[in-house]
Structure 1
Amino acid sequence: MPILKKISALSKPMSEKVISQLKYPDYRNLLGTREQVKEHLDVLIQAWVKKREDKIVIMVDELDRCSAGTIVEFFEALQLFLPVESIIHVITINQEAVCYALANSNMHFFDTEIVSNKDKLAFGKEYLEKYITISYQLPHSQNLENYINHLLIDQSENDLNYIFRDSEKKALVEIITEINNSRRINPRELKKII
């Protein structure tokens, strides 16, 4: 028996002998967190989704309030989840803020050092189209007076106790309406102004 083993070992090609002696690294562990997340996600989806038509909805809110770097990282990470048909993503954003953040973080795509806001917005919108399948913008009401009046009420006391005099309220409504005609103001910005 030992002689037969020795003969079979001698008949193996040298390349096979060398390869069998090498220790390969565990490439699966070298792939990193991204691949591990993908594996865990597959396991979770198999556990959660019983029927093919069942869906998991992931809601992302206030992304526009994050730093530009975090916004870019979010969309890079989102690539991991996009191919998964069982997951629906709902992302609520102030599109302008996200577009500027994406453009400012990707200045190497522009030919010049000075980039106009129009170009940044165009770049950001094009970038978002890669990730957002169905876009929906909330309707924008041109009459802000009721909302402004609501914000001007001192909620800590009662609805009739106004912080501002009527003349001040009227002036604020006029100023904000004028600003809104040239630049759309969202409710969060309106609160900050008041």
Structure 2
Amino acid sequence: METDALQQLVFKTIPLAAPEWQAFAACWHPVEFKRKTVMTAAGEIERYLYFVLDGVQRAYYLGEGNKEVTLIFSYTGSFSGIANSFQLQQPSRYCLETLTASRFLRMTYTDFARLIDTYPAICRWAHLATAQAMSGLMDRYIEIATYSAEEKFRVLLTRSPHVLQLIPHKYLASYLGLDPTTFSKLMASVKL
């Protein structure tokens, strides 16, 4: 069943009682997008929380001169969406696009708000999941601000070696704050 992987991920943070899980699971609905589809554009309010069943996505910022800066990736078995726009219901400063054809389960903000208002355990899960995501973002901020190009590359390979096969290298270079030439040199010289 498509919600099995979702349940495993949610239960890693906090196990929900059967009635809570049933209410939570009932709010997720399947949706598919083709490759290179902008799911959320800058200026739009994120209306959905996604769980990735299959595919790769990225959130990116469109800077001066339309320079794209990749902020984060999502892929099979992870949550996706523009989290701050979703939870605050404010316009996003970022875009979310599929890099490959992608299948999801998604939940509307209306359902999410109702669930966290109704079920304290689901509210606790949302709080803990947000705190975990924030912790990861703070670690990433330290890496971006203080690590050398090689250190950033090594951390990526240690934490997520599978991304080299999943994600085009130009997006990985952008994610690490490196130019594509430096990324290619690191690919050729850094071994773990």
Q: TM-score with structure 1 length normalisation? A: 0.22
Which is richer in helix?
1
Flag the structure with more relative contact order, 1 or 2, with Cα contacts below 8 A and sequence separation at least 6.
Answer: 2
**Bigger CA radius of gyration:** 1
Q: TM-score with structure 2 length normalisation? A: 0.22
